[in-house]
Amino acid sequence: MELKLSKMIDEQQLSERIKQLGKDITDKFQGEDLIAICVLKGSFMFFADLIREVDLDLTCEFFGVSSYEGTSSSGEVRVTLDLNHTMEGKNVLLIEDIVDTGLTMNYLKRTIESRKPKSLTTCSLLLKPEALKEECHVDMVGFEIKNQFVVGYGLDYEGYYRNLPYIAQAENLN
C-alpha cells in the first residue's frame, strides 16, 4: 500500500486526550457497573487504550459492523459479529473509532436501544462534523476533524495502516 501520509494527531495528543476521556467516564459512572462495547474493527486500539484509563468495574463486548468500501461509506451497515450478551438494564458505553456520515453510529444506537439498556453513552475518538449525512449526537468525542480520509491507530484503508501508532491524513487515494 503506497499512500502519501501526513501526521495529523500524534501519540502524545492521543494519549493525553484518552486519559481525559477515561477520567470523564470514570466520573460519570462512579459506583455503577458498565458494559464497554468495542465496535470492530476500527476501534480496537482506541478501545484497548481507553478502558485502561477507566477506573470502574466493567465488562467488554465486541460488535462487528462494516459499511465502508475503499474511502466511502456504502450507506449500508452489515453486522459481521453480533453481540451475544444481554444489555437489558445495564449501563452501556459504545466505543467507536470515527463518525463520518453518522449512519453507522445511528444504526448502532438503534440496535443497542432495542435491547433496553439502563443507559447508553456513545464515545467516538474522531468526528467529522462536515461529513454527517444525518443528525447524529455523540456524547463524548476525542477530536473533531475536517472531512478528510484518515488512517492509523486502528483506522484502515483497504485493511492496511491499522497498526500506525498515530492518526494520519491519507492523500493520493485512487
Q: Which residues are the active-site residues?
A: 100
Sequence-separated (6 or more) residues with CB below 8 Å from residue 94: 37, 39, 108, 109, 112, 120, 121, 122, 123
What is the smallest separation between the CB atom of 87 and ligand IMP, expressed in angstroms?
Answer: 20
Which residue's CB is nearer to ligand IMP, number 143 or number 149? 149
Residues that bind ligand IMP (CB under 6 A): 42, 67-68, 73, 96-105, 149-151, 155
Q: Count the neighbouring beta carbons within 10 Å of the beta carbon of residue 56.
A: 19
Task: Give whichever of 67 and 111 is closer to ligand IMP, judged by the CB atom.
Answer: 67
**Residue 157 cell numbers, joined:** 484503508
Cross-strand pairs, 58: 34
As measured in angstroms, the least distance from the Cβ of 129 to ligand IMP is: 11
Closer residue to ligand IMP in complex, CB, 33/160? 160
Torsion angle (degrees, nearest 10) of CA 15, 133, 105, 29: 60
Q: Are 111 and 82 in contact (CB under 8 A)?
A: no
Sheet strands (E) in the chain: 4-9, 34-40, 58-69, 72-81, 91-99, 119-127, 140-144, 150-151, 167-171
- Give me the least distance between CB of 160 and ligand IMP, in Å please: 11
91/124 with CB nearer ligand IMP: 124
Q: How far is the CB of 124 from ligand IMP (least distance, A)?
A: 8
